[in-house]
């Protein structure tokens, strides 16, 4: 004796044109990354702008003269650490909390689409949104090359315009 089929979710059976186009997703990603780049640029700027130079004069019998070396200052190292922590906090808030609770990160909001569960049509929640982004980073870190490229280009030929991560997690990108 079988069970009745589960009712189709709000995102089931939509035509391809109902899903968010690939270029909109790419532009949203660019918008989401800009604050990270700005924060890291500030940290690197402070690091480079506060470099310290130390010189030593050789007074041995060989009299080789003065040697100088430049290195990172304490201020620069602290700036890099602080901006990295701020960038991570922004990433967790934007792509974990904000996207998980509203369906849209800042970039997705600007591009007017949201990530929702294919089954419920609702935002996926902080945990799943965070896992989703971790999977992207793991794929990018471990599989730089053809696997990552296929994963992010998949919406170009997929019927629901899903990335491979979307497929695994049953997420879809829908216009707002």
Q: Where are the domains of the chain?
A: 16-175
Residue with more model confidence, 138 or 98: 98
Average pLDDT over the chain, rounded to an integer: 89
Between 84 and 145, name the one with better pLDDT: 84
23-36: average pLDDT: 97
> Is pLDDT larger for residue 89 or for residue 14?
89
Torsion sign across C-alpha atoms 97, 99, 100, 101:
positive
Q: What is the pLDDT of residue 11?
A: 58
Tens digits of residue pLDDT in 87-119:
999 999 999 999 999 999 999 999 999 999 999
Residue 5 has pLDDT above 60, yes or no: no
Mean pLDDT across 127-155: 85
- DSSP structure string for the chain: -PPPPPPPPTTTT--GGGSPPHHHHHHHHHHHHHHHHHHHHHHHHHHHHT-EEEEEEE-STT--EEEEEEE--HHHHHHHHHHHHHHHHHHIIIIIIIHHHHS--HHHHHTTEEEEETTT-SB-HHHHHHHHHHHHHHHHHH-TTHHHHHHHHGGGT-TT---HHHHHHTEEEEE-
pLDDT in the model for residue 12: 60
The pLDDT of 117-137, averaged and rounded, is 93
């Amino acid at each position: 004796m079988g069970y009745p089929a589960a009712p189709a979710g709000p995102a089931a059976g939509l035509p391809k044109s109902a899903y968010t186009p690939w270029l909109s997703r790419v532009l949203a990603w660019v918008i989401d990354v800009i604050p990270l780049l700005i924060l890291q640029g500030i940290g690197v700027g402070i690091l480079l702008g506060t470099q310290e130079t130390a010189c030593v004069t050789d007074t041995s019998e060989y009299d080789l003269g003065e040697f100088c070396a430049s290195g990172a200052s304490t201020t620069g190292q602290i700036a890099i650490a602080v901006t990295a922590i701020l960038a991570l906090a922004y990433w967790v808030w934007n792509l974990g909390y904000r996207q998980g609770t509203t369906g849209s990160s800042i970039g997705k909001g600007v591009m007017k689409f949201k990530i929702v569960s294919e089954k419920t049509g609702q935002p996926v929640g902080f945990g799943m949104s965070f896992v989703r982004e971790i999977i992207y980073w793991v794929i990018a870190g471990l599989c730089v090359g053809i696997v990552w490229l296929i994963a992010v280009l998949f919406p170009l030929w997929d019927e629901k315009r899903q990335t491979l991560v979307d497929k695994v997690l049953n997420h879809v990108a829908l216009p707002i």
